[in-house]
Every structure is written in structure tokens, then in C-alpha cells.
Structure 1
């Protein structure tokens, strides 16, 4: 009986420890999502909005229609963004599901709330007018794209979202059977183009459309870089008759683990061993030359890696 009680207490402790660990992970996830939304808000409020640069998303739509309420003193940009976010959330609930709605509602409402708070305490042109007149558009485009791209990238890296148009993108991807990455680019480009079409009574100068297009490209690159690979990696594949020598070289020079994979030549039917190793970019450049000295006949090729997960820095796991 005593043994059963001990086992039960141990199980309870394990469960409590697991729940505590999950709670910490949850807090960290939402802390990073919050940080990402903060970066996105700063990029929009201080740079994109005062410079009238449309770079997609709910914030881009609000910039397009800002002239509608420009002369209405009590109406704020954040009110319009709240409305759009609410519409997107309802669409997400209907077409994607309750789980997605719960996960997205926080970021969707945090963004306009931060914009609203900034509107109460500081003018959005405060940084804009501190930049020399000839460089304002270029600087706002660059800084806005960097901050917004970094914010979205941070949120995505921690399995989050910045809400808004992301919901519409997921709906299109789900029902049109289009990859989400293509949907993201498509919707952003549509918003950018609409900002400059002649039938749009609120259209800004075409130069701002060009700035918006460049901003979308910069954002996409930064999002990919942060969300998928903070540091560039390379995977080296080596087909050799001396796989042990190649393995020892990589162990000695790089302290990286390797994977052996049996391969067979289609023409000769000869069975050989492929050595596979993922490493940093500079390590790949260095090791390829060394491999040719260990086995001049080794067939070697290198590919880029966008994402590496797991125990990357420990020997023997790749």
C-alpha cells in the first residue's frame, strides 16, 4: 500500500512539473509574440503611417483609407484597425475554427490597442519630421520594413501571429489550395497595387507604391531570415569509399555529428556510403577543401538550409 502511495505521489509530482514547464513555455511564447507586435506597431505608427507607405496588411489598408477620417477630430486610425481586425477574427472563427480564433485574438487586438495608446501620448510624425526632408520616404520605408518584418518574424518563430490580414491569408490558402507563403505575398502585393491605382480616390503618389513594393520585399526577406533561420546553415553530402575518414575529419575539425546513409550507383550498381553533416556556412567552405585532400575521388555537394531544429550543436546527432 505504501508503495502505491509513493508511486501515486511521484506521478503527481511529474504531472505538476510538466504543467509548470508548459506554463513557462506558454508565458515565453506570448512574451515573444507581444514583443513582435510591439515592433510591428512601432514600424507602422512612426514610419509607414506618417510617410504614407503602404506595405500590405491591415495597417496598409488603414493608410489607404486614412483620408476618409483625416478631418474628423475624434476619429483615430486605431478605430478603423479595430474594425478590420474584428472582421478578420470573425472570418477566422467561421472558416478556420475556434482553436485558431483563440490563438489569434490576442495579437489581433494587441496591435490596434498599442496604436491607440500611442495616439494618446505621442504624435506619429515626431520621428518623421526629425529626418531631413529629402530622406524621409527612404528612411521610413527602410526602418518601417525592418521593424515590421522583424516583428512578424519573431511572432512566427514562436508559433504565433500578428493577426489581421494573416487570417484572410490562411483562409485563402485553405480553400484555394495555395501555399501560405504564396498567399502572403499575393495579398500584400494586391494591397500595395490598390494603393496606387487611378480609380482609387485616396491613391497616393506612385513613388509611394514603389516604396511599398520595396518594403514588402525587405519584410519578406527579414521574416524568412528570423522565422526560419537566424543563422545560415549548410548541409554537406559526401559520397565516399572512405566514410570513416570523412567522419573523423569532421569530428576533429568541426566537432559536428554526421549521419551515414547507404547509397548505390545506378550505372555501376556499386554500394557506397554517403556522409551527411549540417554545419555553419563558414565551416562548409572550410571543410569541402579538406575533404578533397582526404578522398580526392569523393563526390561532394552542399545545399542551403533554411531551418535547423533539435540538438544541433551536439556531436553524433546529424
Structure 2
């Protein structure tokens, strides 16, 4: 049932992405963020649809993610890309409003809803998410740097190809998308989980088996019950939050977990095998 629910969410997310593009952003020549925006830009220059270009751009990225990030995460993310491509080919490109601001806002909101619910269930819309996560792991620079770089390039290119007014509306769409995703799912790149548990040994082993992260164990005692417990502390990326929740629910459903945003870290961030 968990897999079925996840597949339903991924299908819904892909459908929302396609609706936001074909009904709002593409007719107005306002561009989305990441690889979706890159596919839109290329589609204005060569006779290929945005959906086909999005799929082609994501094939090498899917291979990279499969080898370096995680098989399940990459598989579900690529499935989202394939479904988005299919929906983009099925749903006609229609203009329901000629107002650029309305198209930018509503397109950004609908795209963010699709991307946000997909992220919340342990996948992504592929493309830049996977590349940025890989580069961040290699260099330990913030993922946001890579998002900012590519999105800045999209805005500048849209201004050069069309006009700077449309580039500004693209900025509006990007801002709206980020705010909506903030409301649905954390955009903070790194998170720290403090898990208070009586089953630290099994929890540690399961986390190490399924998430490539180091763990710190801190002795603790219940303030009311006086029971001996441990605090398991782990720093993760936002992409791993869904998997961590699943591990905790399987190993110790009664564990108390506090997730906090992490502004920065120093030292080794990944567990070497």
C-alpha cells in the first residue's frame, strides 16, 4: 500500500507539473526553474517539444543518480519525469489568460504543488535536484548555490531570447514556486534529526543500511519515567527525510523525533563504506 500511495502521488505530481506548464507558463513564454526551464528554453530554439527535451535531459542525470545518489530515489524521480513527459504530450498547450502576471503566479503555484508533494513522498522532479545533490556531496557546498546558478542562467537567457519583462515574470514564477514548496515541504538543504529511543542499536544499524549518513549516540534519561534512553543524532539532506521517517516508524514507532533546520556543518558529512 505504501508503494501504491507513492505512485499515486508521483502521478498526481507529474500531472500538476504538466498542467502548470502547458496551460500557464509555456503559452506566456514564462519559464520554470531547473531542467524544466532549460527544456522550455531549448524548445523555443529547436523543433522538439518541452516534454521530449525534459526526458532527454534527464536520462544521463538518472544514470548519475542511480550510481551515486540512491536507486529508489532516482527510480521514483525518473518515473516522475517520464509521466510528466507523457502528460505534456497529452495535454494541449492552451492560453486561458493573456495576462503575464496571472500566468506566472498560477503556473508557479501549480508547478510547486506538483514538485512539493513529490518531494514530500521521497522523490523529486529529477534534473537539477539530482545533479545539485551529487555536487553538494562531492564538494560539501550548499545545494542552493547550484540552483541559484542555473536559475539565474534561465532568467538571463529568457531575457536575451524574448524581452526583459518576461525575464522578470520568470523571476516572479520562481519566487512563487519556492514559497509554495516552503509551505508543503522544507527547502532547507540540510536537517538534523534528534531521535530519542530505547532501541538505539537496531535503529543505528537500519539507518546505516538504508541512509548513507553517520550517527552520534548520546545517553539520555526520561524526565518523568526515569527510563534509560539514547538520543540518536543524524544530519541528513531534505531528500533523505522521507526514508528516515520510514526507518523510525519500522524500528521504533514510539520514538520521539525532533527535526531542526541546519544552517551549516563542519567536518565529514557522509559515512564512508
* Structure with max Cα Rg: 1
> CA contact under 8 A between 1:56 and 1:192: conserved in structure 2?
no
Counterparts of 1:186 and 1:175 in 2: how far apart (Å)? 17
Q: Choose which of 29, 35, 39 in structure 2 pairs with 1:62.
A: 39
Counterparts of 1:219 and 1:181 in 2: how far apart (Å)? 15
Q: Does 1:225 align with 2:183?
A: yes
Instruction: For residue 174 of structure 1, report the CA deviation from its aligned partner.
Output: 1.7
In structure 1, the residue matched to 2:76 is: 103
After TM superposition, list the pairs within 5 Å mapping 1:81-96 onto structure 2. 81-96=54-69
User: 1:257-296, CA deviations, whole angstroms, 9 ceiling, x for partnerless residues?
Assistant: xxx97xxxxxxxxxxxxxxxxxxxxxxxxxxxxxxxxxxx
Instruction: For residue 317 of structure 1, report the CA deviation from its aligned partner.
Output: 10
Instruction: For residue 54 of structure 1, report the CA deviation from its aligned partner.
Output: 1.6
Counterparts of 1:58 and 1:228 in 2: how far apart (Å)? 20
**1:67–1:104 Cα change, 3 Å:** closer
Q: Choose which of 158, 162, 167 in structure 1 pairs with 2:125.
A: 162
> Structure 2: 5+ residue runs without aligned partners?
188-221, 224-244, 249-255, 259-273
**1:96–1:179 Cα change, 3 Å:** same
> CA contact under 8 A between 2:78 and 2:125: conserved in structure 1?
no
**1:185–1:33 Cα change, 3 Å:** farther
TM-score by length of 1: 0.55
Counterparts of 1:195 and 1:94 in 2: how far apart (Å)? 33
**1:182–1:220 Cα change, 3 Å:** farther
In structure 2, the residue matched to 1:191 is: 154
Q: Choose which of 81, 89, 109 in structure 2 pairs with 1:146.
A: 109
In structure 2, the residue matched to 1:80 is: 53
**1:38–1:140 Cα change, 3 Å:** same
Q: Choose which of 167, 172, 176 in structure 2 pairs with 1:214.
A: 172
In structure 1, the residue matched to 2:208 is: none
Counterparts of 1:157 and 1:67 in 2: how far apart (Å)? 32
**1:221–1:84 Cα change, 3 Å:** same
**1:224–1:177 Cα change, 3 Å:** same
> Structure 1: 5+ residue runs without aligned partners?
1-23, 230-259, 262-308, 311-315
> CA contact under 8 A between 2:54 and 2:81: conserved in structure 1?
no
- After superposition, the CA RMSD in angstroms is 3.0
Instruction: For residue 88 of structure 1, report the CA deviation from its aligned partner.
Output: 1.9
Instruction: For residue 191 of structure 1, report the CA deviation from its aligned partner.
Output: 2.4
